[in-house]
Structure 1
């Protein structure tokens, strides 16, 4: 397993465990997170993940990682509950890496995360 794939697996394991601090350690200090039209700018990720993990509990299942060196793509499924109903969606995350950490994440989700 490459170091980039190990980073992605750590990121997903930390997410699934609800460990915002471990998750945050995967990012550069100025990293950004983009989901659809919503962008969390650099410097605000810690608060974003702490708030998100306090209110939602989705689980990610890694299907595969495509390691392009400084750009890594992870194909996953995400499962969550909304209004008492189990939901699932396919998603792809594109991670731009700098010195072994995530500098930018862009998430492409099938359907709506609000559904």
Structure 2
């Protein structure tokens, strides 16, 4: 699932990305919480504005909880940035029900 998530994210394929999320999924990063039903708009806007790319470092599989360590590279207002991050995915019926993102430094662009 981590490889599929990263491939969809890097391709900017929101439909493929959302295929691994439950319809009721939530996303928390920094001070931002994206509530149920808001992921499509969130990912579409982020991918267009920031042009993010992820690279996998490692996956820790806890069964119903997966921790994925990645590096994210993006551009914001013409400035290239990168940060390490960890995504903790809570799974229900093999779908991401909740994602909590921990990014080195600020969660802001």
Stretch deviating more after TM superposition (43-52 or 59-68): 43-52
User: Is 1:82 the counterpart of 2:76 in the alignment?
Assistant: yes
Structure 2 matches for 1:68-107, cutoff 5 A? 68-107=62-101
- Unaligned 5+ residue runs, structure 1? 1-6
Q: In 2 relative to 1, CA 36–114 (structure 1 residues): closer, same or farther, beyond 3 Å?
A: closer
What TM-score results when the alignment is normalised by the length of structure 2? 0.93
Contact kept, 8 Å, 2:49 with 2:76, in 1: the verdict is: no
SS at match of 1:86: strand
1:41 aligns with 2:35: yes
Determine the structure 2 residue equivalent to 1:4: none
- How far apart are the structure 2 equivalents of 1:49 and 1:80? 14
CA RMSD of aligned residues (A): 1.2
TM-score by length of 1: 0.88
Match of 2:9 in 1: 15
Off by >3 Å, runs of 4+ in structure 1: none
